[in-house]
Amino acid sequence: MTTITAVRGFKDILPSESWIWRLVEDKARDLARRFDYQELRVPILERTELFARGLGEATDIVEKEMYTLEDRGGDKITLRPEATAGLVRAVIERNLVESGRPLRLFCLGPMFRYERPQKGRQRQFHQLDVEVFGDPSPYIDAEVIVLLRDFLFELGLNDVVMRLNSLGCPKCRPTFREKLTAHLGARKSELCPDCLRRLDRNPLRVLDCKAEACQAVTADGPILTDFLCPECQEHMTGVTTTLKDLGLDYVLDPRLVRGLDYYARTTFEAHSSLLGAQSAVAGGGRYDGLCQSLGGPDIPGVGFAAGLERLILALSQTQTATAPKPDYYLAVLTQEALGPAFGLAYKLRSKGLAVAADWAAGSLKSRLKRADRLGAAKVVMLGPDELAANEVTVRDLGSKEQFKISLTNIEWF
């Protein structure tokens, strides 16, 4: 009988890895609390129409990457490829936006896209998604960018570069689109097949292409920020001025676009040199028309998504994050000591201490080796001599200091 293996692109997160996932998720939740963001957990499955309308039918995600199926009732449903559309759907359906107060939300969880698996990119991947609804102010854009920067810095990614651009709005972007389409049309023969297809449906996506030939074509093309209307220019100035006042460094990148249709005005990406050429760890921007395009009221929005696999890949190269270690390792040296040791472990764990133990008697040498492998701070030894004296022997594995205390002296620990 053949062994059943995991589906390609769907990766187990092993116990040796899960600690760093908890570290990242705990940091995200802590920072969300400090910035007054609340968690909203949306379903993994949504109606396919939500993503087709929300992301744009000409996007790579909708055209080539979604996991879509037909349920027994004949409805087309899709494993979520990103979280923003689902959050917007929930905000509209549940009428969550209160008049006069921005709604600050975050979401953590798995997403699904059918693309070629590679290091740091899987078909099931995980994202932190942060969104604000109901406020068109550039200060909200700046707040979201600051939250992202603080999140990355507090994780230990101090090399992050924040790239920033404005995509304009429906008022000023058509003029740029016309100029860009003319520029690209004159050099069609140099574009890749994907960009030839994008040219008619969404030429801005050509700016996002990673093919060297397409990048060369767009390098001397029109620049979007040269076509901003006064309102978009004022908004962009408000964002950059606020970031400067905080001393937050950023790089203006007039070629920066996002891969989804719903973005407008502010767009940004965070890049880490630890990831090589594919250096983006997070990105987002403003999407003021998305709620309305999904059948809701005209609610402005802004947010970002950070890929946890990419973050963890970068963190694994910094050596600043370390796995949690047990406070104590309980070395049980005789069969008779198992019962007292089990009771001691229960009492220590009830005090909030991390205690590792093996419920089988073993030699002192083997137990000390195991405690060292686990990285325990101290070993608590319980053998025949300790049982006779109703005490335990404690050894500090750092200082090598060793002493005895009463088995009932729980307050010492």
Question: In which band, very low, low, confident or very high, does the pLDDT at 8 lie, cut at 50, 70 and 90?
Answer: very high
Mean pLDDT, to the nearest integer, of 217-237?
90
Q: Other C-beta atoms within 10 Å of 399: how many? A: 8
Which residues 6+ apart lie within 8 Å of 108 measured at CB? 25, 28, 29, 39, 126, 127, 128, 129
Per domain, the residue ranges of the chain are 15-172+228-315, 328-412
Residue 377 CA to residue 374 CA, distance in Å, equals 9
**Domain 15-172+228-315 homologous superfamily, CATH:** Bira Bifunctional Protein; Domain 2 (3.30.930.10)
In the predicted model, is pLDDT for residue 256 greater than 70? yes
Question: In which band, very low, low, confident or very high, does the pLDDT at 369 lie, cut at 50, 70 and 90?
Answer: very high
In the predicted model, is pLDDT for residue 108 greater than 70? yes
In the predicted model, is pLDDT for residue 250 greater than 90? yes
- Is residue 336 helix, strand or coil? helix
Examine domains 15-172+228-315 and 328-412 and report if their fold is the same: no
Q: What tokens were used for 353? A: 């201490």
- If you search the block for the tokens 């080796």, which residue do you land on? 369
- Cα–Cα distances (Å) from 335 to 269, 282, 360, 389, 402, in that order, read 59, 54, 7, 17, 23
Question: In which band, very low, low, confident or very high, does the pLDDT at 239 lie, cut at 50, 70 and 90?
Answer: very high
Mean pLDDT computed over every residue of the chain: 91
Percent pLDDT > 70 in the chain is: 98
The alpha carbon of residue 324 and the mean position of all alpha carbons in its chain are separated, in whole angstroms, by 21
Residue 40 CA to residue 87 CA, distance in Å, equals 8
In the predicted model, is pLDDT for residue 266 greater than 80? yes
Mean pLDDT, to the nearest integer, of 349-370?
94
Regarding the domain delimited by 328-412, which CATH topology (the fold level of the hierarchy) does it fall under?
Rossmann fold (3.40.50)
Q: Other C-beta atoms within 10 Å of 67: how many? A: 15
